[in-house]
Chains A and B, each alone.
Chain A
């Protein structure tokens, strides 16, 4: 069974640029959630995708957007990067039909915005 994978591992961008982060969900999982974890803080929910549609969103501006593909993999896109976007971005996959709400996290992508 393959776990959740994310790419790239690290990324450095400059303010105003755009970035795309990728996530492959665990085998058998149909739901992907994205979280932002700033240094020294707990992860904050960005949004969730189920059946290729956004299914819940946290308190993040529209320049944070995403996609889910038929194979359940997902992308997180951030436009017009700001310095405060520097963080660890975590992807988590789950099986919505399992009924126990358990999520499995990937290793994260560390984004630095200069």
Chain B
């Protein structure tokens, strides 16, 4: 089945810097790649997603890129702010995984210092 790897496990940046989190997936049939932000004591919050027919998607300070050939996708956060501090999860789903089953990465704890 699908396997999603995520790096790094922790990331510390200064406010205003950029942060990049990377994920790789194993199943070439996966076609949907969401990113979730989880703050302490809360459930995962969908922040951005990308489908396999698109290479890049942007929403204000966050962007996601997808390289289907290499089977990896990345989350980019620019001009980081302390409120960006959270755990970020990537996920994948597709025909072989089961369209409605998200397979998650292990998470990245992002700490943005003022």
| A and B together in one complex | no
Q: Which residues of B contact A (CB under 8 A)?
A: none
